[in-house]
Structure 1
């Protein structure tokens, strides 16, 4: 049986409880050893006895509950420390458990409760006991607490509260940053899933449309014109091989996201291949370019190719037109793509679902680059897909170069 480690960032109750006990024991040891050491130089205080040790251990004994009952533990440890000092025992690190309890309670958001506890205990211990009840409390012959000592303890208490508040602020900031990182990672994962879904849709929709058309041709011609059926089957084989290659490329990013893809992503330089595939499905593609052509950024190049691919796929599937016109316009603001067919709708067209993935994918690709896609019927008949993709400084530089050449 293999041992599975817990997911990072998830607190295991057993481990958390063990850590609380360990920290509480460390506080208890520090209070006992530190107080014994400090008592050697305080001959005027009451010697440590059994009750003193009980009080020194009572505060740390409450600390394991500090995450479940932070306010009660803060009140309990403060009361125990106040009773210890009121009985005249030596000064020392008896306040360690109070500091831990205050930090935990304020970190949990109980700032007001801790302020009330600290103010109440300070008033009772320093003002009531230190300036009035000391007459009836040990050690015998002890005088009132000096105002300098009272002020010093007040300053120390304020410093502890300020430190606890800083600790709370930092903990909240760390938690917020951790939460924002988790949200950002989740958002990136969602965007990556959407990108892969778009890639798979575009690849499969185009290739399967070609395969579907050619399969119908092959079935129709198999008996009377076997040679023409063989040509259709050859087209099917080539389209399926290319689709498998592109699907492998997309899926490889899932298996090894840090590795570079084995083959470059398709771009506008592959438009002739796309036109040849469309021709295999019976669609003639006329390509034209306006303006000085310049290399596009990889993301824009891929988006432009996929938009044209999807538009041609829709013509094959839904239009009776056997001709499509693809126009590329290069300008200072970017590239403009238009894909037109003369229609009408094919009687054998597959029923289109409103807001299908094809048009949505086009718009998402363009929007990711700050561009737009418009798709709809033309006034003179047929259908048009018009996409505008900004390319930033690349287009401006290319146009300026062309003008200088003139």
Structure 2
């Protein structure tokens, strides 16, 4: 109901982007010949025949009577408009030629000239400007030549010369037709450009959304799956020798999987109802202690130094996911069972540093290999940076710098 009220109360949707029939014309140009304008051509042909018939009564005795050849010229001229979208240059030249023959034969003036106008409009809009200009210019020049000189030898007999004023009026109409056609062509190109830009922006938003979803799901699952992987290995190894410890490992797996399911459900709920508020707050550095506890269940001791400042939601989530992924990589790929998380900040940036003492184990814990790329994408989305690499004294270091203020605020 709200959408209907908006449509009724405001301007039509095509006001800024062109009317629907204009887009259908563009589709016809993209797939020529798929839909010929049968109905409009038939109606136009009937209009030309009826209009010329009435015009002939008013010009009786001044122009030649309309015979079979004249009717054939009218039918051919109007019928060529059927191909005005597929062969616009040919149609504008053809209608101009048959109209010139019709006029030179002395038949009554009438709406046959409108066929040239329609074909000229179609040719200019389709981009065949030179053909349209040439056809109209040739038609006007031949019309002037016949009206001012050749009328002596052409029907009807006893015809008199036209005045230069009449020819200038015809020239004015020709220029007006070309000008309107050019304006329509420019506007159509603008609409086509706007449509292409909107389509590109839509594709870009869809790509960004897919990347965001992929990053979120990767970050949600990677840490929990790594903990589950480690604890499953511990449980299998101790199942026979130390059942109590194996039970503890299974309890850890249950807790980690439950948390993973909860976060995945939160992401999916956001996707299903993008306009609704999330049911649970997005994770942030305030939950850093939970990461430390989860890492401890995987046998990793994490030392945290420093306290985070008050962060915007987006920065807080990115910082949490970066630390989570860094600790996940330590669990997966490092032989060290000790990691350090250092939090530092000033007025402009938050600095996160995650170190482990190594060495790398080269073991594959089933990860996708996209963790570091995801961290860099998160940091880049906020205007920050990620540096990751081996430390000079061994081990691995992840250093993230996330801005706390925008460039406009800094100025």
TM-score range normalised by the length of the shorter chain: 0.7 to 0.9
| Aligned-partner SS, 1:325 | strand
Deviations 1:105-158 (A, max 9, x none): 12222111222222222222222x112210122222111121111111111111
CA–CA distance in structure 2, aligned partners of residues 341 and 111 of structure 1? 70
The alpha-carbon deviation at position 55 of structure 1 amounts to 2.5
C-alpha contact 1:206 1:310 (8 A) present in aligned 2: yes
Seen in structure 2, the aligned counterparts of structure 1 residues 83 and 260 have a Cα distance that, compared at 3 Å, is: farther
**Paired residue total:** 384
* Match of residue 332 from structure 2: 317
2:351 counterpart of 1:336: yes
- Equivalent of 2:204 in 177, 187, 193: 187
- Greater Cα shift, 239-248 or 148-157: 239-248
| Aligned-partner SS, 2:350 | strand
The alpha-carbon deviation at position 310 of structure 1 amounts to 0.5
| Aligned-partner SS, 1:282 | coil
The alpha-carbon deviation at position 260 of structure 1 amounts to 4.2
- Equivalent of 2:363 in 326, 349, 354: 349
C-alpha contact 2:311 2:404 (8 A) present in aligned 1: no
Seen in structure 2, the aligned counterparts of structure 1 residues 82 and 260 have a Cα distance that, compared at 3 Å, is: farther
- Equivalent of 2:71 in 29, 53, 61: 53
2:279 counterpart of 1:265: no
CA–CA distance in structure 2, aligned partners of residues 231 and 356 of structure 1? 29
The alpha-carbon deviation at position 360 of structure 1 amounts to 1.1
Structure 2 counterparts to residues 275-294 of structure 1, below 5 A: 275-289=292-306, 293-294=309-310
CA–CA distance in structure 2, aligned partners of residues 356 and 219 of structure 1? 26
| Aligned-partner SS, 2:89 | helix
CA–CA distance in structure 2, aligned partners of residues 301 and 365 of structure 1? 11
- Equivalent of 1:246 in 243, 263, 266: 263
C-alpha contact 2:89 2:128 (8 A) present in aligned 1: yes
- Greater Cα shift, 114-123 or 177-186: 114-123
| Aligned-partner SS, 1:93 | coil
CA–CA distance in structure 2, aligned partners of residues 18 and 352 of structure 1? 55
- Equivalent of 2:254 in 237, 242, 253: 237
C-alpha contact 2:226 2:328 (8 A) present in aligned 1: yes
* Match of residue 389 from structure 2: 376
C-alpha contact 2:33 2:86 (8 A) present in aligned 1: no
C-alpha contact 1:17 1:64 (8 A) present in aligned 2: no
2:88 counterpart of 1:70: yes
Seen in structure 2, the aligned counterparts of structure 1 residues 272 and 106 have a Cα distance that, compared at 3 Å, is: same
* Match of residue 105 from structure 1: 123
C-alpha contact 2:357 2:396 (8 A) present in aligned 1: yes
Instruction: Compute the TM-score of the two structures, normalised by the length of structure 2.
Output: 0.85
| Aligned-partner SS, 2:252 | helix
Deviations 1:242-291 (A, max 9, x none): 11222233334444444444433222222121111111111122223257
2:318 counterpart of 1:303: yes
CA–CA distance in structure 1, aligned partners of residues 34 and 152 of structure 2? 44
C-alpha contact 1:290 1:330 (8 A) present in aligned 2: no
The alpha-carbon deviation at position 367 of structure 1 amounts to 0.7
- Equivalent of 2:180 in 163, 171, 177: 163
Seen in structure 2, the aligned counterparts of structure 1 residues 236 and 351 have a Cα distance that, compared at 3 Å, is: closer
CA–CA distance in structure 1, aligned partners of residues 47 and 255 of structure 2? 78
CA–CA distance in structure 1, aligned partners of residues 232 and 52 of structure 2? 91
2:126 counterpart of 1:147: no
Structure 2 counterparts to residues 208-223 of structure 1, below 5 A: 208-223=225-240
* Match of residue 191 from structure 2: 174
- Greater Cα shift, 270-279 or 311-320: 270-279
CA–CA distance in structure 2, aligned partners of residues 108 and 212 of structure 1? 63
C-alpha contact 2:332 2:365 (8 A) present in aligned 1: no
Seen in structure 2, the aligned counterparts of structure 1 residues 117 and 393 have a Cα distance that, compared at 3 Å, is: closer
CA–CA distance in structure 2, aligned partners of residues 203 and 393 of structure 1? 27
CA–CA distance in structure 2, aligned partners of residues 306 and 333 of structure 1? 20
* Match of residue 400 from structure 1: none
* Match of residue 93 from structure 1: 111
2:42 counterpart of 1:25: yes
Unaligned 5+ segments in structure 2 are 1-22
Q: What's the Cα RMSD here?
A: 2.8
* Match of residue 404 from structure 1: none
